[in-house]
Amino acid sequence: MSDDNSTSLVNLGELSKPANTLIEKVSSAIGGVFEPWQIKRIAKAEAEANLIKAESEIQITDLHRRAMHRFVEEEANRQENMEEITKKSIPLLEEQSDPAKMEDDWVTNFFDKSRIVSDEDMQALWANVLAGEANKPGSFSRRTVNLLSDLDKRDAELFQTLCRFGWAVGNFTPLIFDSQAPIYNNLGINFNSLSHLDSLGLIQFNSLAGFSRTGLPKSFAVTYCGQPLQLVIKEGQENQISIGQILLTQAGQELAQIVKVPGVQGFYDYVKEQWKSHAPSEKST
């Protein structure tokens, strides 16, 4: 968090054009709270001044006074949270991004949902969403933002772990072939955790029938952490391939864009074994 004794979080004159544009956009959408860039100390001082003025005009009880001080403290904390998230998003902006194209309603809703987030790791997640939307407006729906506000830190960490099993099979697709397999269970991915992610709206989980990718060409490549795997649809095989027991929802797909996690050791070979019937035939010498 920012130091309460500081006078400014950033020097606007030294920021790139996208960063300045983002701050202006945020200021416009949520009522100018970043004009100039506010800090917790200033917010508290102004609110307390208003309280003193109110005391001179009306008789207020100790209960009223305690309520006002609580309100001042809560609003100052929320102000600081909004500033920290915005501050964390600035280094993630792309040079060609144009935050001015972000919808005001989206920005207003974003900060309405994120202003209570004080955990630094969760703030970083929200900052990635803000920067992602600034870099490419329309990347994150309001529904996804609303869903994110319902996630606690453990939910976010569980989803990030799931993404460690993600392959590029057209779309980004975590491949869960058997929710009871040790390679998943050792990292906390199991029937219960997948059911939980399903209940949150991040995935669809079908442990019985599973899912398939159809309409594939006869020969194609998929990748895991940049490592390609060539597959073929052999003569007599249906033009489809099993992709396991889960699918990411739209919200899951959008949030997966900002997840940066390492792969799982041995998972490439595990999946290769699952798809061995689609391995190219060995040419005879």
The values of phi and psi at residue 232, to 5°, are -135, 150
Residues in the chain: 285
Structure tokens at 268: 């490439």
Give 217's DSSP letter: -
Q: What are the strands, taking DSSP E only, across the chain?
A: 166-169, 171-174, 203-205, 211-214, 219-224, 227-232, 240-244, 246-248
237 vs 144: CA distance, rounded Å: 38
Amino acid in position 218: K
pLDDT surpasses 90 at 66: no
Looking at residue 101, what is its pLDDT?
92
Judged by average pLDDT, the poorest of 174-178, 197-201, 236-240 is 236-240
Average pLDDT of the segment spanning 2-20: 52
Q: Summarize the confidence of residues 95-109 as an average pLDDT.
A: 92
Entry pTM: 0.79
pLDDT at 238: 79
pLDDT digits (tens, 9 = 90+) for 122-132: 999 999 999 99
pLDDT of residue 31: 61
Q: What is the pLDDT of residues 138-158, one digit of tens each?
A: 999 999 999 999 999 999 999
